[in-house]
A and B are shown apart, each in its own frame.
Chain A
Amino acid sequence: MTTPATTSPAPLLSMRGVSLTYRAHDRDVPAVRTVDLDVARGEIVGLAGESGCGKSTLASTILRLQPTSAQVSGEVLVDGADVLTMRWGDLRTLRWGEASIVFQGALHSLNPVHRIGRQIGEAITTHEPEVSDDDVRRRVGDLLEQVGLPRQRAQAYPHQLSGGQKQRIMIAMALACNPSLIVADEPTTALDVMVQAQVLDLLSGLVHDLGVGMLIISHDLSVLADLCDRIVVMYAGRVVESGPADRVFEQPLHPYSGALSAAFPKVGDPAARFAPAGLPGDPPDPAALPPGCAFAPRCPRAVDACSLEVPVLADHGDGRSVACWRVGEP
């Protein structure tokens, strides 16, 4: 299993055997296939993969936000309680109160006709209706300062803000009810590099200051490598590798992680400039997955056996796991 061998209490987030299938008109599309994932308190876990690999879909199940037409199986335990089966009232308490999501703020995750202060305050008043208006206003101002924005920003509308400011607003909003778990879905996409760095600093600072657990989702492995304690790599709805962040990034065991990691040239290594970067081919269509290992058609190390059986996620020691038939072979 991927849980670090510590004596800490049960993990904050524990996903066991989670599978999610979308039902289209005539066929089933498996978006997530039997995924196990843990996040402990104070730990930052990165979830990496190309778009379409199912990582955002997986994250949506943490707050049971997946579309109603989707079929989900497995367990999603937040602080021991199964999100997928809990009662509606408990779910509404969990949402934002125990776990929150930082959506990509750059697009349309904020209501365009409400002021920022109102939207952040809404989270507070929904979970703590007894809080007075003045206190809500004060807390909203504190949250804005916490993410490095001036208090007056509460009066602004979303269209008056830049992408970076909106992303910080999303973070401030996610903190409003003091959750124990924060999921950041592509927090740096659509931001320019300088702003990316600021947002990442902000996020890591929060984890260390507040002791929350964080799950960061990104297709950009370099973002995750620096920030996270552990990285989980997904491909075509399955976990293909997981382990400590620096090991996964520098010595990837799965060919796909290797390709992801190689996509970012290492500074100071002249040979890296000439190494082939990027993978040929496209991610598979989830509705028409190839037999056996889904990565086999694009894999430089694939053999015939790879297309026969789906590789099992196996423990490799040192807290690392890989799902590949050819790992360890020369």
Chain B
Amino acid sequence: MTTLATADAAVPEAEARRSGGRRSYGRYVLGKVAGSAASLAFVVVLNFFLFRVLPGDPARTLGRGRLNTPEAIAEFNKTYGLDQPLPQQFVTYLGNLLHGDMGLAISTRAPVSQLILDRMWPTLLLVGTSTVLATLLGVWLGMNQAWKRGSFFDKSTTWTSLVLYSMPEWWLGMVLIALLASGVGPFLGWFPTGGLHTDAANPTVLDTVWHLTLPVITLTLAYLADYSLIMRSSLLDELGEDYLTTARAKGLRDLQVRNRHAARNALLPTTTLIALNLGFVVAGAITVETVFSIPGLGLLAVEGLRGPDLWLLQGTFLVASAGVILANLVANLLYGLLDPRVRV
């Protein structure tokens, strides 16, 4: 066996880049965390100004119909510090936020931060389960659709996904209620029409699961349609690439080429697109909790609507945005693990 003496260090190879190693992932993580922190700061500032700089006097806008007398308006303004100059309000706002104080709900006088903490776990349970299921099923479905493109399986499931995608997810929830809980049938009474517990004093795991079944099915179907369409088109894009010919030429089985090479690369744009659609996940949580009366953060936001409750709306908006920023960060970090090219 001959070794040729051509040392490649001697020849200047201009395009070689030294990146992609473990040290660069650390740098990548730092960059992404810094970016998320900047986004969070922006949201905190935006949150403040949304309610105060927009047209109209806040008291009049938010107290529509309730605050009629000048005294009532003055009291409203005093309670919420709206009589202070704007910069002062901002400083107070930031200070309170750092202490975890998001104000008091107008109707119940309960601290908003406490309300948010109490209501967080039903939402996490609902959204968490649905997104995990939808991601696993959606990626699997999209992969098979792309690989069996043009088949009956592909055409029928893709059309179904398109229809599900064009549907308001909460309407699907209504239809499921009417079919399986109460309304039209044919399987009335199989599931409850809403709520989280039959008896709030004695919550059991099985009872909670029974109550969450329809909402989880609703959200999973809605997200699944989106994710499978994304994975399908990402994989179809990959199928034309040259490195797959190399893999086939090396003697690999079709399944190995598909999973080890094509799907692995298709996961990259899929991750990016799923992260881009996180707002859709939040919207689903809000609307489905409303339809099924699940006492989570989404329903809390809608309750803030009813008042309208300034502090509650502000708090839920902040938490929802922070949640999406965090989820985005996680998705970005995951992407950095999957794609060595971004760890520059």
Contacts of A157 in B (CB 8 A): 20, 340-341
Cβ of A194 within 8 Å of any chain B Cβ, yes or no, is yes
Quote the shortest CB–CB distance from B143 to chain A (angstroms).
16
Q: Is the interface of B mostly helix, strand, loop or mixed?
A: loop
Are B13 and A108 interface neighbours, CB within 8 A? Answer: no
Contacts of A94 in B (CB 8 A): 251
Cβ of B213 within 8 Å of any chain A Cβ, yes or no, is no
Give the complex CA separation of A95 and B250 in angstroms. 6
- Give the residue of B9, B13, B15, B250 whose beta carbon is less than 8 angstroms from that of A96: B250
Known: A113-B338, A159-B340, A209-B2. A103 touches B16 (CB 8 A): no
- Give the residue of B5, B241, B250 whose beta carbon is less than 8 angstroms from that of A123: B250
Quote the shortest CB–CB distance from B253 to chain A (angstroms).
7
- Give the residue of B9, B11, B16, B19 whose beta carbon is less than 8 angstroms from that of A194: B11
Q: Is the interface of A mostly helix, strand, loop or mixed?
A: helix
Quote the shortest CB–CB distance from A105 to chain B (angstroms).
9
Are A142 and B243 interface neighbours, CB within 8 A? Answer: no
Give the complex CA separation of A103 and B7 in angstroms. 23
Q: How large is the interface on A (under 10, 10 to 19, 20 to 34, 35 or more residues)?
A: 35 or more
Within 8 A of B (CB), among A118-151: 122-123, 126-127, 142, 145-150
Cβ of B91 within 8 Å of any chain A Cβ, yes or no, is no
Cβ of B255 within 8 Å of any chain A Cβ, yes or no, is no
Are A162 and B13 interface neighbours, CB within 8 A? Answer: yes
Are B8 and A164 interface neighbours, CB within 8 A? Answer: yes
| B-side interface residues, number (CB < 8 Å) | 38
Give the complex CA separation of A165 and B14 in angstroms. 11
Stretch at the interface among A13-21, A197-205, A271-279: A197-205
Identify the interface centre among B4, B8, B249: most chain A CB within 10 Å of its CB. Answer: B249
Cβ of B246 within 8 Å of any chain A Cβ, yes or no, is yes
B residues with CB within 8 A of A: 1-9, 11, 13-20, 241-243, 245-253, 261, 264-265, 268, 338-341
Give the complex CA separation of A96 and B131 in angstroms. 42
Number of A-B residue pairs at CB separation under 8 A: 121
Give the complex CA separation of A145 and B6 in angstroms. 10
Identify the interface centre among B1, B13, B17, B251: most chain A CB within 10 Å of its CB. Answer: B251
Known: A103-B245, A108-B241. A159 touches B20 (CB 8 A): yes
Give the complex CA separation of A323 and B199 in angstroms. 92
Quote the shortest CB–CB distance from B254 to chain A (angstroms).
10
Cβ of A267 within 8 Å of any chain B Cβ, yes or no, is no
Give the complex CA separation of A328 and B55 in angstroms. 93
Cβ of A163 within 8 Å of any chain B Cβ, yes or no, is yes
Cβ of A195 within 8 Å of any chain B Cβ, yes or no, is yes
Contacts of A161 in B (CB 8 A): 13, 15-16
Cβ of A93 within 8 Å of any chain B Cβ, yes or no, is yes
Quote the shortest CB–CB distance from B243 to chain A (angstroms).
5
Quote the shortest CB–CB distance from A225 to chain B (angstroms).
22
Are B14 and A162 interface neighbours, CB within 8 A? Answer: yes
Identify the interface centre among B8, B15, B241: most chain A CB within 10 Å of its CB. Answer: B8
